Amino acid sequence: MTIKRFLIALVVLGVVALAIVGPSVIHGPSHVASVTFVNPTPYDLDVDAARVGGASWVGIGTAHAGATNIAEEVVDLGDTWVLRFSYGGQVAGELHRTRPELVEAGWRVEIPPEFVHPLEAAGITPPPPH
């Protein structure tokens, strides 16, 4: 094979590879249209999520006190999600949910009222109501 044919073959392979891999790289990770968080606590809880065993957390938003909150275009974290709820840098609790559990619940997550206990134990009082 001549160098010219080799270079043409290399370019063709590169174009094919880009056509196959390119869309996922360009569009980035997939997303879930929305996740609803029901927060019965008196705290505005920051919501972060990660894959099980994942080292990096993705910020989802804030679940406002005593309200139902909808986070839109949430990064899809795969088969099992770890949801962490915190206030003022203090972790209130974590929930582990599988994709089937989230789908069955309509992508609705009820934050346990007991998540106030770690905050209260840390001496963090709830802010005044909005």
What is the reported pLDDT for 19?
57
pLDDT digits (tens, 9 = 90+) for 45-89: 999 999 987 778 999 999 999 999 999 999 999 999 999 999 999
What is the reported pLDDT for 128?
85
pLDDT digits (tens, 9 = 90+) for 91-119: 999 999 999 999 999 999 999 999 999 99
Residue 129 CB-density burial (10 A; 0-12 exposed, 13-18 middle, 19+ buried): exposed
pTM of the model: 0.77
Which is more confident, 90 or 19? 90
Which is more confident, 20 or 99? 99
Calpha distance 10→109 (Å, rounded): 50
Which CATH code of 1.10.3470, 2.60.40, 2.30.110, 1.10.10 fits the domain covering 31-121?
2.60.40
Q: How many helices (H) and strands (E) does the chain have?
A: 3, 7
Specify the residue for token string 């996740």.
35
